[in-house]
Amino acid sequence: MTKSIGKLYGIGLGSGDPELLTLKALRLLQSAPVVAYPVSDGGKSLSRSIVAGYLRAEQVEVPLWYPFKLNQSSQPFYDKAAETISAHLEAGQDVVVLCEGDPFFYGTFMYLYTRLCDRYPTEVVPGVSCVMAHAAVLGTPLTYRNDVFMVLPAILPAEVLAERLAVADAAVILKLGHHFSKVYEVLQKLGLAERANYIERATMPNQRIVPISEVDPKTVPYFALISIPSQWQPTD
Ligand SMILES: C[S@@+](CC[C@H](N)C(=O)[O-])C[C@H]1O[C@@H](n2cnc3c(N)ncnc32)[C@H](O)[C@@H]1O
């Protein structure tokens, strides 16, 4: 008799509001015997908190301890997390892995996917990324017609950010944290600061929208972004 193995699901949760889950993600989440999610050093799981109201008591929860420290390779931790998930899959249990936003857009699930997708049946369910969600919250259309849209991690050097922003019609800058001041300076030099929006934890209960000129660089969290919407005018 052949041994049955479980199926792996990477599900996008959307950017924070539990109502942004897709129907498919919700169905899979509630029917899975095992639910795994990243947990930070402090023991908190943003992903779990998003779906806490949907979990069932009989589901097995598997916290995956990820390092969120700078200057530390995260690869050994993904190796270990993949092993943990693999044990459940080998036992014939389906495993749902939670991922904030969209799993294939800078999502933590990608690193498990690359380790496990050749060995186990795997399905990825897309989620509402912060890029889409924050624009809806701000009521600011991002791109029109043939606009070129760019996604930039704030960690890039100032000159690279400037080069890329100079050729984009619209852009979003992610992973702000302590890179805020550098990014803001670049925006000011390019004359983009007045057009830029700043938002923390979009769609989460502690969402915060602040005029970019009033942001205190010391308090910018990791879950914050800057967007520069298109300048297109309805008369164009
Ligand atoms: C590793 S990326 C994850 C992106 C996520 N997979 C998605 O699809 O939105 C993390 C960065 O996305 C941005 N981000 C994610 N969720 C956010 C939210 N709710 N509000 C503001 N920024 C967010 C922040 O810039 C953060 O540093």
Which residue type is seen at 194?
E
Distance CA(119)–CA(5), nearest Å, equals: 10
Strand order across the 122-125 sheet: 60-65, 34-39, 95-99, 8-12, 122-125
Fold agreement between 8-128 and 131-228:
no
Domain 8-128 of CATH type 3.40.1010.10: yes
Cα 223 to Cα 61, 134, 172: the distances in Å are 24, 11, 13
pLDDT tens-digit map of 57-109? 999 999 998 776 666 678 888 999 999 999 999 999 999 999 999 999 999 99
Options 3.40.50.2000, 3.40.1000.10, 3.90.226.10, 3.30.950.10; which CATH number does 131-228 get?
3.30.950.10
The full DSSP string for 188-235 is HHTT-GGG-EEEESTTSTT-EE--GGG--GGG--SSEEEEE-----TT
pLDDT digits (tens, 9 = 90+) for 208-221: 999 999 999 999 99
For residue 12, the surrounding DSSP H or E stretch is strand 8-12
**Which numbered atom of ligand 1 lies nearest the CA of 107?**
6
State pTM to two decimals.
0.94
What confidence category does residue 3 fall into, taking pLDDT thresholds of 50, 70 and 90?
Answer: confident
**pLDDT tens-digit series, residues 144-160:** 999 999 999 999 999 99
pLDDT, tens digit (0-9, with 9 covering 90-100), for 6-65: 999 999 999 999 999 999 999 999 999 999 999 987 788 999 999 999 999 999 999 998
Contacts of 225 (CB under 8 A, 6+ apart): 130, 131, 134, 172, 173, 174, 176, 198, 199, 202
In the reported structure, the alpha carbon of residue 60 is separated from the centroid of ligand 1 by a whole-number distance in angstroms of 27
Alpha carbon nearest to ligand 1 atom 7, residue: 101
Alpha carbon distance 152, 117 (integer Å): 28
How far is it, in rounded angstroms, from Cα 185 to Cα 213?
11
Å from CA of 202 to ligand 1 middle: 9
Q: What is the pLDDT, as a whole number, of residue 73?
A: 78
Task: Give, using CA atoms, the residue closest to atom 1 of ligand 1.
Answer: 106
CA 173 to chain centre: 13
Please state, in angstroms and rounded to a whole number, the distance separating the CA atoms of residues 47 and 90. Answer: 24
The best mutation among 225, 226, 227 to test binding of ligand 1, ranked by most ligand atoms within 8 Å of the C-beta, falls on 225
Domain boundaries, the chain: 8-128, 131-228
Whether ligand 1 lies within 6 angstroms of the CB of 102 is answered as: yes
pLDDT at 236: 60
Query: What percent of the chain has a predicted confidence (pLDDT) above 70?
Result: 95
Instruction: List 35's β-bridge partners, or say none.
Output: 61, 96
The burial class, CB within 10 Å (0-12 / 13-18 / 19+), for 72 is: exposed
Top pLDDT among 233 and 200 is at: 200
